[in-house]
Amino acid sequence: MEVNKISEGKTKIVYDFDKDHVLLRFKDDITAGDGQKKDILEGKGVLNAQTSAFFFRLLERYGIETHYVGMKDERTMIVKRLKMIPVEVVVRNIATGSIVKRLPIKEGEVFEPPIVEFFLKDDLRHDPLLNYYHMEHLKLMSRKEAQYIEDIMIKVNDILSSFIKNKGLILYDFKLEFGRLDDKLVIGDEISLDSMRIRNANSRIFDKDLYRKGYDLKTVKASYEEFLKIITS
Ligand code: CDP
């Protein structure tokens, strides 16, 4: 059976499924630096699909609506057809990554309360930071929608960080993307080690920072595997 490809990104492919659903196939590609650095990590698509499915199911159990419906195969999700908003929404509990380069904030500073940030999905412009005015002008979302998304981000952060804490690990930050289903805002995309930063109390890194920092692919893969095992056991 020929399935119709709707779009392809750096790590996932979207296929037509039925009127209200699409398929999201997780590739084995791993990228960093707006796609500048790129490799194939065999089996990574399955790991990220499984990790994402696990977190989407967890959020759904807490009454947070996501696009997740079920699995078509081990690396392909059936998801609700959304009109995606090209914005990345980040919550930070502990400072690392772009924020310590952009602002006079030191690596490891704790954010109480957590910080929510919006970025435009635009690799050529290196995903610039957005405020409410930018998002209204660019017709991305209204201020009211942005504030609603901030509330969801804080709820999701509470759920994910306490879950991860119970597993003996620490959620530094994570990114979500949202889409519209009629007039509702629903969480789309993925929740995996590509989109979150997880460390332990000794600052051991579990997430894509291993790849960003140049660790070998075997180490990256082993860490993704270990994390999936930790959350599912
Ligand atoms: O990753 P980078 O240091 O460039 O950006 P960041 O703003 O510090 O990233 C915050 C969080 O969003 C991290 O968990 C990243 O993995 C995630 N992120 C992502 O999933 N996709 C991006 N294009 C940028 C960040």
Mind listing the pLDDT tens digit for each residue in 78-100?
Answer: 999 999 999 999 999 999 999 99
Give the count of domains, the chain: 2
Beta strands in 5-164 (DSSP E): 5-8, 12-18, 21-26, 29-32, 37-40, 68-73, 76-80, 83-84, 87-94, 110-120, 129-130
Residue nearest to atom 7 of ligand 1 (CA): 98
* DSSP 3-state of 4: coil
Q: Which residue has the tokens 């078509």?
A: 72
C-alpha dihedral (223, 55, 35, 94), degrees to nearest 10: -80
Domain that holds residue 36: 5-80
Q: Do 45 and 100 belong together in one domain?
A: no
Q: Is residue 180 part of a domain?
A: yes
To test the ligand 1 pocket, which listed residue (26, 119, 195) has its Cβ within 8 A of the most ligand atoms?
195
The answer to pTM > 0.95 is yes
- Average pLDDT of the chain? 97
pLDDT in tens, 111-142: 999 999 999 999 999 999 999 999 999 999 99
The CATH number that applies at residue 87 is 3.30.470.20
